[in-house]
Amino acid sequence: MTNETKQTLVIDEEQFLPRREMSNLERWLGTDTYRALRGMVTNPTSIVGLVLLGLFLFIALAAPILAPPISSNPYQIPRDGYGSVPKPPGTLWNSRQPELPFWWKPIMGTDQWVHIMGTASGQWDIYYGVVWGTRTALQVGLLITFVGAAVGITIGAVSAYYGGWLDMVLMRITDIFMAFPFMLAAMTLSAVLTPVLGKGLFPPMIALMAFGWTGFARLLRSDILSVREREYVLAAQVIGVKDARILFRHILPNAIFPTLVLGSMRIGSYVITFAGLSFLGIGAEVGYADWGQLLSFARAWMTNLGEYWYIVIFPGVALVLFTLSWNLVGDALRDVLDPRMQGSR
């Protein structure tokens, strides 16, 4: 009797889940990444977002070809004289015409370079501003978000991990930073920093970083706190894994996704805020390729926008589409990550 029971080993009674065939790509990327990526390229919202984003990336990368720089500083928008009245799209370049891009003649059949998007008052070429401004937007948006997220993630993780009085202190500091209205705080700080660092992109960027990390810290902290209660964290403790490793390998990968989604959503809004500061004259020096700066050229012509629409429309549309693309991507990221998280809990 005992022999009999010993011999019927226990494997077969349970129906094991059949092993799903995986493609090589899936094997290489890992199931989760693969699923997320597949979600990203099949979800219509995210396709629109990704296409727009791809377009901006292309413009940024191809800027020297799309708009060959005139001086050693390519971010300096070339100007065609000093007249104060804007000129409409299609106006010929008069003076100091930049080098003609190679694609212009085969397409247009002429040697004559025009102001493709018109000029702003002061004869700044809007096309150059929009094209090179794409680079500025990407740099500014990514850098602010990157630094802001890094600071926020560090503070959020430390806070959740150590808890106790350190958590208390860090969260009260976060509260204080959050208590300031974001735009106003960023404006004040960059105005204070400008005399110290000189006029340029840095004062507003630093100001936005200084006030932008709070959302990341809060979000990550609460997600870590909730993940920390999961049984698999206890299971890792039970086998004697070091606390720091538990945080980085076991908790963070489960808690970081909402923060990444927030990050991608924030890129657009930082660029908008940055443009807002530029518009107010805090930020890039005059003539620096930056969408907010271009928009500020329209300030004197607010009442005649019917006539001078091009000063607002081109940089404005660029700004809106840029923000939209990041929001769509962020939205789609959240959609593809959420069901995954539910499915695997």
Partner 1 sequence: MAVGIDLGKPTSQHLLEVRDLTTRFYTEDGVVHAVNGISYTLDEGETLGVVGESGCGKSVHALSMMRLIPIPPGKIEKGEVIFKGRDLLKLSEEEMRHIRGAEIAMIFQDPMTSLNPVLTIGFQITESLQLHQGMDKAQSRERALELLDMVGIPEAALRLDDYPHQFSGGMRQRAMIAMGLSCNPSILIADEPTTALDVTIQAQIVDLVKRLQDKLGMTVIWITHDLGVVAGMADRVNVMYAGSIIETGPVKYIYGDPHHPYTLGLLGSLPNPEGSMGVRLYSIPGEPPDLVGMPKGCPFAPRCTFKVERCLHEMPMLEEIEPGHLAACWEKDRVRRV
Using CB under 8 A, which of the segments 84-92, 182-190, 205-213, 224-232 binds partner 1?
A: 224-232
Please state, in angstroms and rounded to a whole number, the distance separating the CA atoms of residues 290 and 75: 8
Closest alpha carbon to 312 in 340, 343, 275: 275
Please state, in angstroms and rounded to a whole number, the distance separating the CA atoms of residues 245 and 102: 55
**Options 10, 179, 196, 244; binder of partner 1; rule CB under 8 A:** 10
Q: Does residue number 20 form part of the binding site for partner 1 (CB under 8 A)?
A: yes
Count of C-beta atoms within a 10 Å radius of residue 317: 12
With H, G, I as helix, E, B as strand and everything else as coil, classify residue 79. Answer: strand
Contacts with 46 (C-beta within 8 Å, 6 or more apart), sequence order = 39, 40, 328, 329, 331, 332, 333, 335, 336
Site for partner 1 in 247-306 (CB under 8 A): 249-250, 253-254
With H, G, I as helix, E, B as strand and everything else as coil, classify residue 290. Answer: coil
111 or 231: CB nearest partner 1: 231
Using CB under 8 A, which of the segments 115-123, 189-197, 226-234, 330-338 binds partner 1?
A: 226-234
Rounded to whole angstroms, what are the CA distances from 6 to 1, 13, 116? 9, 15, 85
**Options 2, 15, 23, 71; binder of partner 1; rule CB under 8 A:** 15
19 or 111: CB nearest partner 1: 19
250 or 266: CB nearest partner 1: 250
**Options 181, 237, 248, 299; binder of partner 1; rule CB under 8 A:** 237
Q: Does residue number 230 form part of the binding site for partner 1 (CB under 8 A)?
A: yes
Count of C-beta atoms within a 10 Å radius of residue 156: 29
Chain contacts with partner 1 (rule: CB under 8 A): 9-11, 13-17, 19-20, 27, 31-32, 230-232, 234-242, 249-250, 253-254, 341, 343-345
